[in-house]
Amino acid sequence: MTVQDIMQTAVVTASPEMTVRQFTRLLADEEISGAPVVDGAGCLVGVASASDVVRFAAANGDVRLTSSTLPTDATDLIRDPDEDEDQEGPDPYGFFLPEDSPVSGETLLEQFAEDEFDSVTVEEIMTAVSFSVHPSTSIDALADFLTRGRIHRAVVVADGRLVGIVTSSDVLKAVADGRIS
């Protein structure tokens, strides 16, 4: 069995120019913890993950949302219940606000000045890719690669192009399904 047998070919990617905030929204929307970074020509230039975002946030500890950053006069943030009917689904930016909050999450975000999450790009926080696996790599070699690198995903490259991604979860699923013994 090889990487090609278990890899995912429908790969969510990020661009180097994407802001860190846009990247975090991509990760949340796609329910993934990392993504390959490809340039405009489709060439792999790196990998970025939630860990990179956390590391960036920790290094920039002054970037945070606290109750003291809420406006004291929130009258301009009050939601119009009729506008809520026009929305498709729940307010994704108001996830942590109480259901009966008069303030919408998206409106709240608009009240904050641009911060470092909006001005720093994925290229500045990503890990440049210097190691990848080929689709013909054996599962044993892949497991060794993931273990030695202490990583949970590997980009799959053939002829210099991104062709897929394989994660430690893909290996676990293959073992659980009896495809790997």
- Say which CATH number the domain at 45 has: 3.10.580.10
- 66: pLDDT strictly greater than 50: no
Question: Do 137 and 167 belong together in one domain?
Answer: yes
CB 123 within 8 A of CB 46: yes
Task: Give exposure, 3-33, as e/b (b: 16+ Cβ within 10 Å).
Answer: bbebbeeebebbbbebbbbbbeebbeeeebe
Write down the pLDDT at residue 58. Answer: 82
Q: What does pLDDT average to over the chain?
A: 79
* Contact indicator for 148, 62 with CB cutoff of 8 Å: no
> Percent of the chain, pLDDT > 70?
69
CA distance linking residue 179 with residue 181, whole number of Å: 7
User: Helical H runs in 150-181?
Assistant: 168-176
Q: Looking at the whole model, is its pTM more than 0.85? A: no
Residue 82 scores a pLDDT above 80: no
pLDDT at position 181, please?
A: 76
If one counts the domains in the chain, the total is 2
On whether residue 181 sits in a domain, the answer given is: no
Q: Do 78 and 33 belong to one domain?
A: no
Which range marks the domain in which residue 101 is found? 67-110
- Rounded Cα gap, residues 58 and 4, in angstroms: 37
Considering the domain architecture, whether residues 106 and 132 belong to the same structural domain is answered as no
Lowest mean pLDDT among 1-5, 108-112, 119-123, 162-166: 108-112
